[in-house]
Amino acid sequence: MENDGLNQYDYLGFSGRDVLKMWTIFVNTLQEYCKKCIRCDFPWTGNVLATIPWTSNRGCTWQAIDMHKRLLDNFSFKSDAIWTLDTPNTGALIFNHNWVSAESDDPNDPKVELDTWKGCMTATFPNAPQASWKHCFHCGPGGPATGTPGTGDSGMGW
């Protein structure tokens, strides 16, 4: 659809290419974060390390803002649906948590949550909850696995 005037609607009702694109950006970002030690498999430890100026570790807020920017850079003009990105948070003071959420203008599309701090991506289908899925990864040997979204094959780190 590419958000152009001639192809404004996703007649199949599900912007699968968009979710797959988010998946690819998410996995590539996790691989980069693991290689550069920006995140670790123990998120709270990562937050403590993020307060030390000479470490490369970054907390959830930095990671959420970076993921938000990467999605904006890649979805500006090439997506099947119009997606609204948000960086919500939960908690208070030093116990808050940030991640990225993506919602489409198409009610058949899933609500997607990308949480690099936890290493998890979730797609929740409002009209078909049985089709919803969540994949979590860890940095382990060789970095995050790629897996296939929605198949239950996340590779490692469920």
For 3-22, the pLDDT digits (tens) are 443 344 444 445 788 888 89
Measured in whole angstroms, how far is the alpha carbon of residue 39 from the centre of its chain? 14
Q: Which residue has the tokens 């994949």?
A: 135
Whether 154 is covered by a domain: the verdict is no
Q: What is the pTM of this model?
A: 0.76
List the chain residues with pLDDT less than 70.
Answer: 1-14, 42, 76-77, 92-94, 140-158
Whether 93 is covered by a domain: the verdict is yes
C-alpha 156/C-alpha 53 separation (Å) is: 31
Position 117 scores a pLDDT of: 87
Question: 87: which 2 tokens?
Answer: 């960086």
Tally of residues, the chain:
158
C-alpha 113/C-alpha 42 separation (Å) is: 19
Count structural domains, the chain. 1
Whether 56 is covered by a domain: the verdict is yes
Residue numbers of the domain that contains 81: 16-136
Question: 23: which 2 tokens?
Answer: 């998946």
